[in-house]
């Protein structure tokens, strides 16, 4: 069983590496112990966003009279919600299986283990590879002493709940936490988000996170920042959470959403000499581990744990092995979207990060309020577009808050990665009325010639 490339893990990163390598003429073995597509397709991105779409439909029905449409909201039927979610996942899963088969990739069904720098063993069979790609993904973290089970759940159990909880405590105000808080509120639950840091989704620009917190409070989602959990217990009737400042919170379920850890334990990495730091595989800018021809990609590499980052890692490694010398992937140039309501979408440096890099006098910003955007008014959303530039230089950060702004981040990615100046963007014609034309307005403001905004 000798191959040009052996990939350990069939998630977004692993299958992208396998598909691109096969496309480039390599023989490839792809090893996956669960389902092809990994966490993103089956327990993460796709099913979560399907739930969020159902939540958006529910909110639209509730608010329909504001748009002149008489309708009555009935109830959330979780069996049908799951049927919709599973149908989306199923179609994508079958399509992916077909792609892998068509590229003649050897798909090994089983949990693999690295037994040498050029060999992965699966169910007693050894797959020898001239190149090994580690893509074993991540798992939901918990906190010490907080056992998952019963009414204390992670995102994986939350995706399979057969009912809408009457109330929920969400421990963690990061991306996963605020997305589930948003879903459950739209489905009719009372939701409290508990976050140890001073603000929600703390990695995003402060202006956006403050706006998100205001929007959550307006929706009736309770937000408790700067709050740490001391203890959690459960009984037949619900869960009780005690915080370190003495608050007692009660709910039907407790969602533990404190991030994801790299799935690198007990896979033979350390025994094969693969360098690890806090569970993450250490790599150079070309994703090499420094051990033989072993590469690591996706969530096991420290940085943004995003499916599209892993996907691009996979393509990069395949092209690197093929000698195509692809450009290194820079994390700050990768777009990020948080799909709660309202959405957050961003790419590049926050204002604080830009000041750290260029100095307080080396940064200029402009914010355009979506109150001045016609399409946003039709959608009934509040929010803003914020651009960050190096003084007299290119745009280095794009940050957006509002309904559906995740669909706008493509232009933001182009602006940041191609080092566009505000004048460059301001001269482009943005279709009107769209939310996209808010980007043009923000660029006009940053270029010093605001029209639908005060200077």
Longest dimension (CA), the chain: 69
Determine if the peptide bond prior to 342 is cis (ω within 30°): yes
Three-state helix/strand/coil letters over 114-148? EEECCEEEECCEEEEEEEEEECCCEEECCCCCCCC
All residues at 6 or more sequence positions from 231 whose CB lies less than 8 Å from its CB, including other chains: 145, 241, 242
Q: Is 53 noted as a catalytic residue in this protein?
A: no
Tell me the C-alpha distance between 204 and 174, whole Å: 10
Contact 133, 17 (CB under 8 A): yes
For residue 55 the two structure tokens come to 């939540």
Determine how β-strand 336-338 pairs with β-strand 343-348.
antiparallel
Nearest to 348 by CA among 384, 305, 304: 304
Catalytic residue among 82, 308, 432, 454: 432
Residue entry with tokens 């994390």: 331
* Eight-class DSSP state of 430: P
Task: List the beta bridge partners of residue 32.
Answer: 109
Tell me the C-alpha distance between 333 and 404, whole Å: 20
How many other C-beta atoms lie within 10 A of the C-beta of residue 104?
Answer: 9
Phi-psi map region of 35: left, alpha, beta (phi>0 left; psi -120 to 50 alpha) = beta
Contact 68, 74 (CB under 8 A): no
Contact 388, 396 (CB under 8 A): yes
Determine how β-strand 253-256 pairs with β-strand 167-171.
parallel
Which residues are catalytic, by number?
Answer: 432
């Amino acid at each position: 069983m000798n191959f040009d490339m052996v990939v350990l893990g069939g998630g977004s990163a692993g299958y992208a590496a396998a598909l691109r390598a096969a496309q480039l003429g390599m023989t490839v073995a792809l090893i996956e112990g669960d389902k092809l597509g990994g966490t993103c397709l089956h327990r993460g991105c796709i099913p979560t966003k399907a739930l969020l779409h159902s939540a958006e439909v529910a909110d639209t029905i509730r608010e329909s009279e504001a748009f002149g449409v008489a309708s009555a909201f009935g109830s959330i039927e979780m069996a049908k919600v799951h049927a919709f979610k599973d149908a989306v996942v199923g179609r994508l899963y079958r399509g992916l299986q077909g792609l892998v088969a068509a590229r003649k990739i050897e798909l090994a069904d089983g949990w693999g283990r690295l037994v040498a720098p050029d060999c992965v063993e699966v169910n007693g069979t050894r797959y020898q590879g001239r190149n090994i790609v580690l893509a074993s993904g991540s798992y939901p973290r918990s906190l010490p002493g907080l056992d998952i089970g019963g009414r204390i759940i992670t995102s994986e159990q939350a995706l399979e709940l057969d009912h809408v909880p009457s109330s929920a405590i969400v421990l963690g105000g990061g991306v996963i936490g605020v997305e589930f808080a948003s879903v459950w509120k739209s489905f009719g639950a009372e939701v409290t988000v508990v976050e140890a840091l001073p603000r929600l989704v703390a990695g995003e620009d402060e202006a956006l996170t403050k706006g998100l917190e205001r929007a959550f409070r307006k929706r009736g989602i309770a937000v408790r920042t700067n709050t740490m959990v001391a203890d959690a217990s459960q009984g037949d009737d619900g869960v009780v959470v005690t915080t370190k400042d003495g608050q007692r919170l009660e709910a039907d379920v407790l969602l533990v959403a404190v991030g994801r850890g790299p799935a690198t334990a007990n896979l033979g990495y350390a025994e094969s000499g693969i360098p690890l730091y806090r569970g993450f595989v250490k790599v150079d800018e070309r994703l090499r581990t420094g051990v033989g021809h072993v590469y690591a990609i996706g969530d096991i590499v420290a940085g943004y744990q995003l499916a599209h980052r892993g996907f691009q890692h996979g393509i990069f490694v395949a092209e690197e092995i093929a000698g195509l010398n692809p450009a290194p992937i820079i994390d700050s140039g990768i777009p990020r979207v948080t799909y709660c309501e309202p959405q957050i979408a961003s790419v590049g440096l926050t204002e604080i990060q830009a000041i750290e890099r260029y100095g307080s006098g080396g940064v200029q910003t402009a914010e355009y309020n979506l109150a001045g955007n016609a399409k946003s008014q039709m959608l009934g959303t509040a929010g803003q577009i914020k651009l960050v530039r190096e003084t007299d230089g290119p745009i280095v950060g794009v940050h957006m808050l509002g309904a559906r702004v995740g669909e706008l981040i493509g232009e933001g990615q182009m602006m940041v990665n191609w080092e566009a100046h505000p004048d460059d963007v301001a001269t482009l014609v943005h279709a009107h009325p769209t939310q996209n034309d808010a980007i043009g307005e923000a660029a006009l403001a940053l270029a010093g010639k605001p029209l639908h905004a005060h200077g």
